[in-house]
């Protein structure tokens, strides 16, 4: 029974390692593309679409991280992001 638990722990640790490396990779890509996203005022949806066209894995996650990076870098951009999010929510209602 202890051997089964050890194997389960090893598999769990391996899976967590894979997930961690994916998150780090997503963050590295997001950081690399954030100047371009900022310069062209791309939304998270536009960024995701471009990343999908480039066949970047986990494009939605990368786009979300990038959007948060860009929004947090500039106060004016943050205000624009908040206003845009508010108008998108109003449009959905």
Q: What is the pLDDT of residues 17-61, one digit of tens each?
A: 899 999 999 999 999 999 999 999 999 999 999 999 999 999 999
What's the number of CA atoms in the CB half-sphere (13 Å) around residue 58? Answer: 16
Pairwise CA distance, residues 58 & 55, whole Å? 9
Per-residue pLDDT at 44: 92
pLDDT class of 8 with cuts at 50, 70, 90: confident
What the block records as the tokens of 22 is 């994916």
Q: Please give the pLDDT value at position 10.
A: 84
pLDDT at 53: 97
The pLDDT, as a whole number, for residue 86 is 54
DSSP at 74:
-
């Amino acid at each position: 029974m202890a051997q089964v638990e050890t194997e389960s722990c090893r598999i769990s640790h391996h899976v967590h390692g894979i997930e961690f490396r994916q998150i780090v990779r997503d963050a590295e890509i997001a950081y690399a593309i954030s100047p371009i996203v900022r310069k062209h005022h791309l939304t998270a949806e536009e960024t995701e679409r471009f990343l999908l066209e480039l066949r970047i894995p986990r494009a939605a996650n990368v786009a979300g991280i990038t959007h948060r990076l860009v929004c947090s870098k500039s106060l004016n951009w943050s205000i624009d992001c908040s206003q845009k999010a508010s108008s998108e929510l109003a449009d959905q209602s």
